[in-house]
């Protein structure tokens, strides 16, 4: 009777231990690029080169650190450093050339830890900053926030 009890409690104990670690954020969320919930995009009536040159300035002005830049694949990777309240975030900014005078900008923001409830979603603040820098005035960007 005691051998059956020992055999069943070990797997249950391991399961409980893993569940506790996961709920406390001890296992990082690995697939940080694919997060459809935190994706924002806007179109700009400017050539891709103009938008490309504005993105690093926007990243720096918002206080993030640029980690990678790939002009061939048309993306930037930025990170927000860890703070007292947050483990930080990673942001992928992708530029897509629509035609000679139009560019789409897509921003994907992801928390470094799945349990980080106070991490910033950088999509809307970055796009608003790009609007300001590039002189693209949106009628009401708060309506876009409500729809998303």
Instruction: Report pLDDT digits (tens) over 26-71.
Output: 444 444 444 444 468 899 999 999 999 999 999 999 999 999 999 9
In this predicted structure, the answer to whether residue 15 has a pLDDT above a threshold of 80 is no
Fill in the DSSP letter of residue 62. T
In this predicted structure, the answer to whether residue 21 has a pLDDT above a threshold of 80 is no
In this predicted structure, the answer to whether residue 87 has a pLDDT above a threshold of 70 is no
Nearest-CA neighbor of 116 among 24, 19, 38?
Answer: 24
* pLDDT above 70 coverage of the chain, percent: 56
Count the neighbouring beta carbons within 10 Å of the beta carbon of residue 58: 23
pTM for this entry: 0.64
Distance CA(123)–CA(106), nearest Å, equals 8
What average pLDDT does the structure give for the chain?
75
Local confidence band at 20 (pLDDT 50, 70, 90 cut-offs)? low
Question: b/e string for 121-137 if b means 16 or more Cβ within 10 A?
Answer: bbbbebbbbbeeebeee
| The pLDDT of residue 110 | 76
């Amino acid at each position: 009777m005691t051998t059956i009890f020992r055999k069943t409690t070990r797997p249950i104990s391991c399961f409980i231990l893993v569940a506790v670690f996961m709920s406390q954020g001890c296992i990082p969320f690995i697939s940080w690029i694919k997060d459809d919930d935190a994706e924002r995009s806007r179109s700009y009536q400017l050539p891709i080169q103009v938008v490309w040159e504005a993105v690093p300035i926007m990243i720096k002005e918002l206080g993030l650190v640029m980690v990678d830049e790939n002009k061939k694949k048309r993306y930037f990777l930025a990170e927000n450093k860890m703070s007292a309240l947050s483990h930080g975030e990673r942001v992928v900014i992708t530029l897509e050339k629509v035609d000679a005078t139009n560019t789409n900008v897509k921003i994907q923001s992801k928390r470094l830890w799945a349990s980080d409830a106070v991490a910033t979603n950088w999509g809307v603040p970055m796009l608003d900053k790009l609007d300001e820098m590039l002189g693209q005035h949106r009628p009401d960007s708060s309506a876009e926030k409500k729809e998303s």
